[in-house]
Amino acid sequence: MAEDVNTAVEVLQKHHLKITKQRRTMLSFLCQRPDHYTDVTSLDAYMRDFYPGMSHATIYRNVKEFEDLGLVEQQVNGDQARIKFQCDFANMHHHHFICRNCGKVTELTMCPMDFFANQLPGAQIEGHRFEMYGLCADCVAAGAE
């Protein structure tokens, strides 16, 4: 876990970005739950609690920078953004099962793209989005909802 933060910090350095205590705290926070999506508003609340008077703008700007660097994955559901620490910087293509109760993310192997490409002759496929959601095994066992 602290491992991952250091790896992320190295990425920042490699891009000549400054290592501020705020950024380090943000990364630590995200790193605590590498397999869960976190509302950016929760991160915002946490940071402003940790550093009273910290600016919204700083948090959102850093989120965007982390995303550009591939340190976090962003996902929009409804009206607010959620992000997740990205551990495997190797960045192998994969998809997610997201638990609606606890936010836990399970990575899925295999990508369904191949089955569809030939249905769109002439089109230029630039990307895709595939997610499954529901209750993870733990939440089912705990009797959620």
C-alpha–C-alpha distance, residues 37 and 30, integer Å: 9
Evaluate whether 106 touches 88 at the Cβ level (below 8 Å). no
Binding residues for a second copy restricted to 9-38, rule: CB under 8 A: none
Residue 108 touches DNA, criterion: CB under 7 A: no
Residue 25, contacted partner among DNA, a second copy, none, CB below 5-8 A by kind: none
C-alpha–C-alpha distance, residues 137 and 143, integer Å: 10
Residue 98 vs 136, nearer CB to DNA: 98
Residue 97 touches a second copy, criterion: CB under 8 A: yes
Cβ density class 36-51: b for 16+ within 10 Å, e for less: bbbebeebbeebeeee
Residue 73 touches DNA, criterion: CB under 7 A: no
Residue 23 vs 104, nearer CB to a second copy: 104
The 48-67 site mask, x for binding DNA (CB under 7 A), equals ---x-xxxxxx-xxx-x---
DSSP string, 24-41: HHHHHHHHT-TTB-EEHH
Cβ density class 129-140: b for 16+ within 10 Å, e for less: eeeeeebbeebe
Interface residues with DNA (CB under 7 A) are: 13, 16-23, 40-41, 44, 51, 53-58, 60-62, 64, 79-81
Site residues, a second copy (CB under 8 A): 76-79, 97, 99-100, 106, 108-110, 112-113, 115-116, 119-137, 140-141
